Amino acid sequence: MPIWKDDSLIADESKDYGHGAREAKELATRLARVVGVNPAHLIPAHEDAFYYMWKERRLPSNVTPEKTNFKDKQERDRMARLFQQSLGEIVGYTLPIKRVGGDWISGEWFLRDDDPLWLIPGDSPMGLRLPLDSMPWVAEKEFPWTWQQDPSAKLEALPREFRNQPDPEAGGQKFLRGGGAPVPAGYGPGQRAQRLGSPVKPEAPADVDPNRHPAPGQSAPWIIRTALCIEPRGGRLHVFMPPVEKTEDYLDLIAAIETTVTGMGVPIIIEGETPPKDPRLNKLAVTPDPGVIEVNLHPSKS
């Protein structure tokens, strides 16, 4: 069973579709609604204007940012690209997201002095440049690590598909294992997971609000620190996957993304975190090396 079903919704990396910040925001907003979180938690990301203003002031007086004389061609191209666009433009959108029990949850990021989300300077996808050090402090012993499942544990067979419920705006868990019946109203996240045959993870205490502002010096382990990013680059929409604990969580999020882009009719590129290592998943990898193409196949059963 393929994780992604419609190949026409995977963008051609050599093609400019003309997609920009407007399409990125629409995709992020629709996706938030499909997975059942509040789109108000979307955060627009910007290049660090102060860093690039400092960078510009360090240039020789007889050159411009668009036409520098740097010996490094990559550095010249980087400077030209950044200054040809306005530093105030939105680079992409970040959606804090995490799986708790059977539901996806989101929450606010409390950055210093309500500043915009300034990305770390660089050329990498915005998912690798999030200013995580600027988020509220948390004690090391309370840090909410993303612990992936034990690869030696006995695992149930994966569902043949994750399908969407008839009403994607109804809220709650949207993707059910193996095309089962919709979960009745009134089921909490843990009950949903138990009904669907998934292992139940202890849920966060009911009094922990992911939108609660931490006091100065207070450890804030309740802040959601994983995020999905949607970034337009080269006229194409890139979706940066967050780290997740379980393969089922990854498949559920991928199914939500494909449902969303199917409704929009726009192709995208998936990047970021790969699925957790799982013996139930097969992978074929093609890697270009100098002078050779390396192809890695999954084990054969016959």
Tokens of 152: 């030696």
Least-confidence region, from 62-71, 87-96, 124-133, 277-286: 62-71
Q: Is pLDDT at 15 greater than 80 in this prediction?
A: yes
How do the domains of the chain map onto residue ranges?
A: 7-275
Q: Is pLDDT at 140 greater than 80 in this prediction?
A: yes
Least-confidence region, from 67-71, 181-185, 233-237, 297-301: 181-185
pLDDT at 176: 43
pLDDT digits (tens, 9 = 90+) for 261-301: 999 999 999 999 999 888 888 888 899 989 999 999 988 87
Alpha carbons 114 and 222: distance in angstroms, whole number: 19
Residue 204: pLDDT band (50, 70, 90) is very low
pLDDT at 190: 36
Beta strands per DSSP E along the chain: 43-47, 90-96, 98-100, 103-105, 117-119, 162-164, 175-177, 227-233, 236-241, 268-272, 285-289, 292-296
Instruction: Report, as an integer, the average pLDDT of 154-158.
Output: 88
Instruction: Report, as an integer, the average pLDDT of 20-43.
Output: 95
3-state secondary structure of 251: helix
pLDDT at 148: 82
Output b/e per residue, 86-119; b: 16+ Cβ within 10 A.
Answer: ebeebbbbbbbbbbbbbbbbbbbbeeeeeeebbb
Q: Is pLDDT at 193 greater than 50 in this prediction?
A: no
Enter the DSSP assignment of 64.
Answer: B
Tokens of 147: 């612990």
Instruction: Report, as an integer, the average pLDDT of 82-111.
Output: 84
Instruction: Report, as an integer, the average pLDDT of 67-83.
Output: 58
Q: Residue 69 corresponds to which amino acid?
A: N
Q: Is pLDDT at 211 greater than 60 in this prediction?
A: yes
Phi, psi at residue 119, to the nearest 5°?
-75, 150
**Nearest-10 Cα torsion for 32, 36, 38, 43:** -30
pLDDT digits (tens, 9 = 90+) for 214-261: 888 888 899 999 999 999 999 999 999 999 999 999 999 999 999 999
Alpha carbons 138 and 212: distance in angstroms, whole number: 14
pLDDT at 257: 96
